[in-house]
Amino acid sequence: MGGQVSRTDFEWVYTEEPHATRRRQIMAKHPEIKELFGHDSYMVYKVVFMIALQLIACYFVQYASWSNVIILAYCFGGVINTSMAAAIHEISHNLAFGHSRPLQNRILSIVGNVILGLPGSITYKKYHLEHHKYQGNEGIDMDLPLEIEGALFHTTFTKFIWLFLQPLFYTLRPLFMRPKPVTRLEIINAAVQLAFDVIICYFFGGKALAYLISSTLLASGVHPMGGHFVAEHYMFKKGYETYSYYGPLNALTFNVGYHNEHHDFPNIPGCRLPKVREIAPEFYESLPHHTSWIRVLYDFVTDPDIGPYARVKRRGKLIPINPAEVDGEGDTVLYDFVTDPDIGPYARVKRRGKLIPINPAEVDGEGDTVLYDFVTDPDIGPYARVKRRGKLIPINPAELDGDGDTKAD
């Protein structure tokens, strides 16, 4: 049923992902790139605008036929919901309010999530940040297809079917391959989504809710906007694992097409990613890239060298998910320490106090100062002295000799 894919395994490599190295090189040569760091101060307005558009659409689709509901979901709703998914991607990197206000970013992502019809913004963040840090690492990067995907979808026809099933695989991979503890924010995400869906059904009917969910699912598969899922990391040219897209649809997806630039500098908001390429063109102009997401989908289906197996994979040590190492957002504390620009060795509270000199006479056998032990050791204090009970010797001036000692001495 169609041409057979020539690949029978992933592209295994034993090198580090390329973005950290290129980031250091660009920072060394173009330190002015730091001026692009920050957040998109207009993100809130963009999210609210997209929600408003979909609410207006929900009002009209309640009177449409089912066939028109699906057509509208594909042609209009799919564009809006893909844009919202791209916004949620931006927000997952704290690019709406900055790294200093993570909770506000999470709240905005939950609010934006409502028009997608299905909850997922908080869970997405938990896994997406690992995709950046451990790109291509087997068992950690949940963006990678499973072995069974490569084995089953290996012909032109089955690859076409695989494109439709992409949302299903993106949902199931983390649940089976790398399950993580459910966080309070995920529960809130699901509760808010359920409440919104009930409200939509109450005011606009079931067609409106079906429209929203169909918009999300249809746009994630065989859809011009959905082409970015394949374009970003499937190996269209041997040896390259990340590809940028330079085309008009970037205007609707927060420049997610600038994917090499994004992986190199995930702390730069999408609205400024084109400037990265302008500042450091020598690092990007020679890299293979895409100019059409529709062409990406066509090549994926028809080219025998491309399929679910066309991904770069690395064997690495599996990083366990320890609940004690997970913060309130479901991220590992170590990952936040490494990736968050606001956290590092300097991120400690210090107090200025009187300098305590180190006198050899004040240091005990373990190298600690006697004063430190006196202050911190619960067994040491003013009471920690040996006392003896004896006859009280009165102090009478007549009994003192010239040195201030008693004459009895």
Q: Please report the DSSP string for 22-34 in residue order.
A: HHHHHHHH-GGGG
Residues 315 and 138: their CA atoms lie apart, in Å, by 6
Long-range contacts of 297-302, Cβ-Cβ distance < 8 Å, separation of 24 or more: 297/163, 297/222, 297/226, 297/227, 297/230, 299/236, 300/159, 300/163, 300/230, 300/234, 301/156, 301/159, 301/160, 301/163, 302/3, 302/156
Total H helices, total E strands in the chain? 16, 4
**Can you tell me the distance from the alpha carbon of 255 to that of 269, in angstroms, rounded to the nearest whole number?**
9
Q: Work out the pLDDT band at 378, boundaries 50, 70, 90.
A: confident
- Phi and psi at residue 239, to the nearest 5°: 95, -5
Any idea which of 180-189, 284-293, 324-333 has the lowest mean pLDDT? 324-333
Any residues with CB less than 8 A from the CB of 304 and at least 6 apart, and which? 3, 4, 5, 6
Report yes or no on whether pTM surpasses 0.85.
Answer: no
Q: Please identify which residue in the block is written with the tokens 């694992």.
A: 241
Q: What distance separates the 2 farthest-apart alpha carbons in the chain?
A: 121
Structure tokens at 230: 């394949």
Looking at residues 99-118, what average pLDDT do you find?
97
The pLDDT tens digits for 257-310 are 999 999 999 999 999 999 999 999 999 999 999 999 999 999 999 999 999 999
In whole angstroms, give the CA distance from residue 406 to residue 399: 5
Q: Are 285 and 275 in contact (CB under 8 A)?
A: no
Whether residue 95 contacts residue 39, with contact meaning beta carbons closer than 8 Å, is answered with yes
- Nearest CA to 17 out of 123, 177, 140, 147 is that of 140
Residue 324: predicted pLDDT: 47
330-334: average pLDDT: 51
